[in-house]
Structure 1
Amino acid sequence: LFATFQNQHRRNSSTIFRTFKVYSNMKYNYSSHPRENFCSSFISGNIFNNFYSNKPKSIYTEAVTKEQIRELKAAFSAIELNSFGEQFQNNSMKKLKPIFDTQKNIRRSSNSFATAANELDVNNLKTLFMGDLKLTNNQWKALMEEAKILQRSTDEQVYRDLRSSKNEQRPIIEKWHTNHILYRMEASLKDASRDAILRALQLWQENTCIRFEERDQLEPNVALINFVDDSQSDGGCSSFVGRVGGIQNISIAWPRCSSEGIVSHQIGHALGLLHEHSRPDRDEHIIVNYEQTVSEHRDVISRLSSRVFEHFRSMYDPGSVMHIPPTVKTLMTNADELTILAMDPNYQSTFGQRISPSFLDYKLINMMYCNNKCSTKLNCLHGGYVNVNDCSRCTCPTGFEGPLCEQVDNGGDHCGGELISSDQPMLVQSPSYPESFQPYQECYWLLKAPSNNQKVVLEFVDVFDFPCEEVCSDSYVELNAGPNFDQTGYRFCCNTQPPSKMYYSNGSEMLIIFKAGTKTANGFRVRYWTAPKEEKIIPAPEVIIDSCPCEQWSEWSPCSQNCGGCGNTVRQRICHSGVGLSCPATQSRLCNLDQCVGSKVILNNGEFHILFNGCCVGLFPDDEGHCQQPGDIASILGSLIPINMG
């Protein structure tokens, strides 16, 4: 070190300053050295003396202290408690408990789960915000200010006010200034961690316009991502959010963080992505089991405002690599309890995958960094968009290929393809069914109705058998009802039938995705057909009670019968009724009102109906062949006789 000083003494003081700034990374305590006076005597200039009189500042980005993290966690945990205070006061959370218990029992009745690794099961939740986030002092101040505002009220007006707030001149989360990002890997990283990092970087680079360049050395005043193993200081699997300037660490602790999916999650944070379950609209998609969460860690499942979530510009994605899994053992008072429950139960096993970023994860980064890459306008189909790495073609959702995403992906030689439905049911099944499928097979089937104004209906039949996982990530079948296919669909695995009896396409197409990983099983079989036209329905009575604190209505369930107006369709919502209020949680209506042809009775779905002129008793055919109620007479339900179908 002293030889270096002597070699530099003839150069200008700015060069000396740069030399010391590089050496500052060595954390050397210059003031304790016995030759301090000697150095001061032969090097002239105030720059050295000022620099030398204080311990050099680290070139690493400084994270806030553990005490600051605890303060911020407490503020956001209080917001979550206040937001649902009424539920705890009137015990309405007890109404949700049977739902959580039912899901828990289903899981327990299955085979043992090989729990997918995720960062929250690894990290010390006391030392990181939202489970895996490091924060700068500026970010901490901005989030504390937001917490103070949110603690005063939790209504939507506050969230709108936050969006237009001018208290912060700079955004809480900053993008990188360019799509060319430097990175470095510490020499102490294990080979397995290095491999996972390189694979994760490749995933982001191949599917976005982001370009990563490795550097061997750290340089002052150069922003880069530095991969380290910070497990000795509770770093675990963690990252800063967005570009914070200087050298920002991503901690990949060996061995539990050394997976491609977890590293992809942390790189997503560094690029500016937050957790999917923290979006402002998350309560439309998930229910949080607050009653069983550890109170001091409720920040992990906090909802953020749209001011923080500046890139809130795509559909909510249950399959995002940034989404929390259904169960976080370290977050619960009872490790066997579910942490979140899907509003649509078909999504329950889609949440929380840590395999790779989803199609919408990549799309969001491309929207943030690559919007000006292509001036080409292409008519991309099925939810695709212009490929930022090849502007002459589209980037396609899983299951599609071709310049405009017009073709079904050819996943395998003996499965998949485009199939046209008809009135007569047809079958699709996994390869070799009912025998076991082989590892690493992929198949994609696009089911299409004969015309654009018709829908496809699908139901699972016979044996359903996949390896059991809480999050379907290895081997599974996925249904995507469209009409755009960029959002992750319903994923099913294990050996229990999917929750719904029948599935309807939202448009005229439905996509089936079959993926086999390392584990094999018997697979699945489905029956599909064209949905009967439903030109007329008898609507449910409108009940408007503004004082009812209810969630949104679910989709209408599939009609229980195919014709004659004998069937019913139902929709539900979750209500938290106050004293003296009666909030309807279920509505039903008659459906499929076309006359039945060639039959006088219906025996189907455990129901027996008598028909009169092709219509259920109590309904009469009109001139167009539709069953309708006569005048103001209410529907006669006496024809419905429950029977035991055995």
Structure 2
Amino acid sequence: MQEYETLTCVRFVNWTTETDYIDIASSGGCLSYIGRIGGAQSLLIYSPGCMQRAIIQHELQHALGFYHENARIDRDQYIIVRTEYIIPELLYNFNLVTEGDMLGLPYDYTSVMHYDKYAFTINASEPTIIPTPNPDTDIGQRYGLTVLDVKKVNKLYNCSVCSKLLNETWGNFSSTDFSTEYPTTGCVWLIRVPDGQVALTFTYFNIQNTECVPNYMVIYDGPTKNYPLLVDRACGTVQYPTIISSTDQMLIEFVSHDSDPSAGFTASYKTVQCGGFYSGAVRQITSPGYNTGEYPPNLNCNYTILAPVGYQVRHFLFLFFFFFFFFSL
């Protein structure tokens, strides 16, 4: 839900007295009606079986009005459905949707709305869906919304938002991704890597103004502005060190009221398995596997501590030595 809030104009709010609403319950599997049907509309998210980001988003996409991607009327140009290996009583799940609107957007093999290769198979070694022309193409991921998933929501609901999803293991982006005249509400980039943590490095940073008003950048340690701050109101020309999130998501917000094309930034990101970025007054840092007895091999972890202007970093390092004495009588 938080990814929708960041990347689209869709908002999920707590029900009060509305006549039509989604009633989310942990019962009966992972199920949802398609689109608005009126009244209390059941959306089932069984715990723990359905508690994955993209499974939940799959059902929310149904409620927002979207069918399965592999049910598109043009799907036979992109996949082969092997009906002989589908459980007969579940064959209806592969029916084509003839009245669906494809919104003029391409077929998305990796959409949260696409079945995986072995969906409803009667034989675990025989796929029910084979992508074409390349049978090795990945389909049916469960990491989260794709770029096309976001575009479809924004197009269907006529959203006017300045946002971009970056969901690869690495990539580059800049303030010129949108334009040199930014909306006063700001633009956001949501980085979501498949696993590990996000490591962000600025290759150019030039946000010139006084006291970071009205132009500035904010970086959050998660997918929305409700998450802790990694960097609060950054500006100037300071070369920031690599910034590492604590999870697989990081949100960058850039607010600018200038049309100067030189004002902005360029950056790259990649996936790392450990490390961190700390800018708070007092924080505790521990190594991976601390207090568990399990230490992953071959890790190179970088931890950056950024103190406010005029302050210094003071650290306390605790070392524990264990001495074993053997006595014989």
Is 1:402 matched up with 2:174? yes
Residue in 1 that maps onto 2:143: 355
Counting matched residue pairs gives: 196
How far the C-alpha of 1:313 sits from its partner, in A, is: 2.0
Q: What's the CA shift string for 1:243-264, capped at 9, x where partnerless?
A: 1111111101111011221111
Conservation of the 8 A alpha-carbon contact between 2:198 and 2:269:
no
CA distance in 1, matches of 2:68, 2:271: 26
How far the C-alpha of 1:315 sits from its partner, in A, is: 0.4
Residue in 2 that maps onto 1:486: none
1:364 to 146, 152, 163: 152
Q: Which amino acid aligns with 2:5?
A: Q
Residue in 2 that maps onto 1:112: none
Alignment of 1:538-553 (within 5 A): none
Residue in 2 that maps onto 1:239: 32
CA distance in 2, matches of 1:253, 1:339: 25
Residue in 2 that maps onto 1:321: 112
How far the C-alpha of 1:517 sits from its partner, in A, is: 7.0
Residue in 2 that maps onto 1:345: 134
Q: What's the CA shift string for 1:567-609, capped at 9, x where partnerless?
A: xxxxxxxxxxxxxxxxxxxxxxxxxxxxxxxxxxxxxxxxxxx
Q: TM-score under structure 2 normalisation?
A: 0.52
Q: What's the CA shift string for 1:152-186, capped at 9, x where partnerless?
A: xxxxxxxxxxxxxxxxxxxxxxxxxxxxxxxxxxx
Q: Which has the higher helix share?
A: 1
1:272 to 53, 65, 73: 65
Conservation of the 8 A alpha-carbon contact between 2:172 and 2:269:
no
CA distance in 1, matches of 2:199, 2:115: 26
Conservation of the 8 A alpha-carbon contact between 2:111 and 2:145:
yes
1:286 to 65, 79, 85: 79
Q: 1:222 to 1:297 in 2, by over 3 A?
A: same
Q: 1:333 to 1:395 in 2, by over 3 A?
A: closer
Q: Alignment partner of 1:268: what SS?
A: helix
For structure 2, which runs of at least 5 residues remain unmatched after alignment?
180-188, 202-267, 275-295, 299-329
Once superposed, what is the RMSD of the aligned Cα atoms? 3.4
Q: TM-score under structure 1 normalisation?
A: 0.28
Q: Which amino acid aligns with 2:140?
A: G
How far the C-alpha of 1:441 sits from its partner, in A, is: 5.4
How far the C-alpha of 1:292 sits from its partner, in A, is: 1.6
How far the C-alpha of 1:356 sits from its partner, in A, is: 0.8
CA distance in 2, matches of 1:521, 1:317: 37
CA distance in 1, matches of 2:91, 2:12: 35
Q: 1:325 to 1:303 in 2, by over 3 A?
A: same
Is 1:223 matched up with 2:20? yes
Aligned-pair identity in percent equals 29
Q: What's the CA shift string for 1:317-352, capped at 9, x where partnerless?
A: 111111001112xx222122111111132653x201
Conservation of the 8 A alpha-carbon contact between 2:23 and 2:42:
yes
How far the C-alpha of 1:397 sits from its partner, in A, is: 5.3
Q: Which has the higher strand share?
A: 2
CA distance in 1, matches of 2:177, 2:297: 31
Q: What's the CA shift string for 1:30-66, capped at 9, x where partnerless?
A: xxxxxxxxxxxxxxxxxxxxxxxxxxxxxxxxxxxxx
Which protein has greater RCO, CA pairs closer than 8 Å, 6+ apart? 2
Conservation of the 8 A alpha-carbon contact between 2:115 and 2:139:
yes
Alignment of 1:321-470 (within 5 A): 321-328=112-119, 331-345=120-134, 348=137, 350-371=138-159, 373=160, 388=161, 390=162, 395=164, 398=167, 399-405=171-177, 439-440=196-197
Conservation of the 8 A alpha-carbon contact between 1:321 and 1:356:
yes
Q: What's the CA shift string for 1:367-400, capped at 9, x where partnerless?
A: 01125x4xxxxxxxxxxxxxx1x4xxx6365534
Q: 1:263 to 1:396 in 2, by over 3 A?
A: closer
